[in-house]
Chains A and B, each alone.
Chain A
Amino acid sequence: MSVATSAYGVSFGALAVAAGLGVWQTCVLSLLMFTGGSQFAFIGVIASGGLAAAPSAIASAALLGVRNVAYAVRMNAVVGLSWWHRIAAAQFTIDESAAVALAHTEPRARRIGFWVTGLGIYLGWNLATLAGALLGDVLGDVRAYGLDAAAAAAFLALLWPRLRSRQAAAVGVAAAVVAGALTPWLMPGMHVLIAAVVAILVGRFVGVGAREERTS
């Protein structure tokens, strides 16, 4: 897991600098935001639309951060009893720490799993981000190194493990098609949000269809 985290972090750092963020701005995202999907979304929208797309970039990051609310609700009973345990745990509530905690059944193992994973990834992610940002800073022309393609591949890699159900696959494909089709008509970033709304509607429709199929 630590090798994977470093790889994510270095790619994020380099891509953030390529998108136009400073080295310190990149590091602040990893220190304060600390949720990979939202961070990649933020710099992705900034990369395509510049500072003018900042409101869309913020909205994209926030919408991708919504799933952390669901994790936090489930981690509430895991992280420790006192209120300061919960406040401290908030920042370390991410895909990986929630997944490791939920993989255990015994309360003590769950608590240890959450904290070790969360704190370990926080440390590794931030060091890797700094290394990546410094690397991106010296690279210069990012297209010559294929870093724009690396960004697209990184989003695909983030998406891939979430496509197990047919409904998820339908929503992912629909969102991609709508976002691509609307690109010439909307401000960079806006189409991402509209695609999300459309895709959720499609997802609900496909979900209903799938249930009827099973019952018939």
Chain B
Amino acid sequence: MTMWTATLLAAVICLALKVVGYLVPAGWLEHERSVRIADLLTVALLGALVAVQTVGSGMAVVLDARVPAVVVAGVLLRLRAPFLVVVVVAAAVAALLRLVGWTA
């Protein structure tokens, strides 16, 4: 599979999911349980992605500058900082720690 195939396939699937929601007869998917499972699925995937992006490096677990950066991001989110501030400060923390050589 090339990067273009993967990109287009993923994009078309996501677009098709949106169209499906408009085509199914009203009431089919409005069950409380379907909506709740869709919400939990989103939370679960994002939670897993936070972990993998923070400590994963291919198939190895690596503790480096990303860990303190994500802790700082969590504190900022708790303080209701906007998205841009959270992401930029997290990047700056990791970049600074690497610059001074405290972490990999």
Query: Are the C-beta atoms of A157 and B61 separated by less than 8 Å?
Result: no
Q: Which residue of B lies closest to A163 (CB)?
A: B43
Of the residues B5, B20, B70, B96, contact of A152 by C-beta under 8 Å: B70
Per-residue B-contact encoding for A73-115, CB less than 8 Å = 1, 0 else: 1111100000000110111010000000000000000000000
Set A67, A75, A152: member contacting B69, Cβ < 8 A: A152
Contact yes or no, A153 B87, CB < 8 A? yes
| Given A61-B10, A184-B61: A145 in contact with B91 (beta carbons within 8 A) | yes
Q: How many residues of A contact B (CB 8 A)?
A: 99
Inter-subunit contact A51/B91 (CB<8 Å): no
**Complex-state Cα separation, A180 to B6, whole angstroms:** 25
Interface of A is mostly: helix
- Contact mask for chain B residues 12-54; partner A; CB cutoff 8 A; 1 contact, 0 none: 1111011111101010111000110111111111111111111
Interface size, B (range): 35 or more
Q: Are A156 and B70 CB-contacts (below 8 A) given A38-B14, A41-B49, A173-B47?
A: yes
When the two chains form their complex, are residues A4 and B83 in contact, meaning their CB atoms are under 8 A apart?
A: yes
8 Å CB contact of A146 from B54, B56, B94: B94
Is there contact, CB below 8 Å, between B66 and A149? yes
Known interface pairs A149-B66, A152-B90. Does A4 touch B77 (Cβ–Cβ under 8 Å)? Answer: no
Residue pair A183, B87 in contact (C-beta under 8 Å): no
A44 proximal to B (CB < 8 A): yes
Whether A64 contacts B86 by the Cβ 8 Å rule is: no
A159 surroundings in chain B (CB, below 8 A)? 43, 46-47, 50
User: Which residues of the partner chain B approach A70 to less than 8 Å between Cβ atoms?
Assistant: 21, 29, 34-35, 38-39
Chain A residues positioned under 8 Å from B35 (CB to CB): 70
Q: Which A-chain residue is minimally distant from B92 (CB atoms)?
A: A146
Residues of A contacting B15 in the complex (Cβ-Cβ under 8 angstroms): 32-34, 90-91
Does the CB pair A7–B84 fall under 8 Å?
yes
CA distance A178 to B94 in the complex (A): 25
Chain B residues contacting A73 (CB-CB under 8 Å) are 21-22, 24, 26, 28-30
Closest chain B residue to A199 by CB distance? B44
Q: Mark A174-190, 1 if CB is under 8 A from B, else 0.
A: 11111110011111100
Pick from B5, B51, B74, B77 the residue with the most CB of A within 10 Å. B51
Which of A21-29, A119-127, A208-216 has 4 or more CB atoms under 8 Å from chain B? A21-29
Query: Other CB < 8 Å A-B pairs besides A21-B3, A196-B48, 6 of them?
Result: A38-B10, A61-B14, A148-B66, A158-B46, A179-B49, A185-B59
Residue ranges of B at the interface with A (Cβ–Cβ < 8 Å): 1-15, 17-22, 24, 26, 28-30, 34-35, 37-61, 65-66, 69-70, 73-74, 77, 82-84, 86-96, 98-99
Binding site for B on A (CB under 8 A): 3-4, 7-8, 11, 20-22, 25, 28-29, 32-35, 37-38, 40-42, 44, 46-49, 51, 54-55, 57-58, 60-77, 86-87, 89-91, 93, 143-160, 162-163, 167-168, 171-180, 183-188, 191-192, 195-196, 199-200, 203
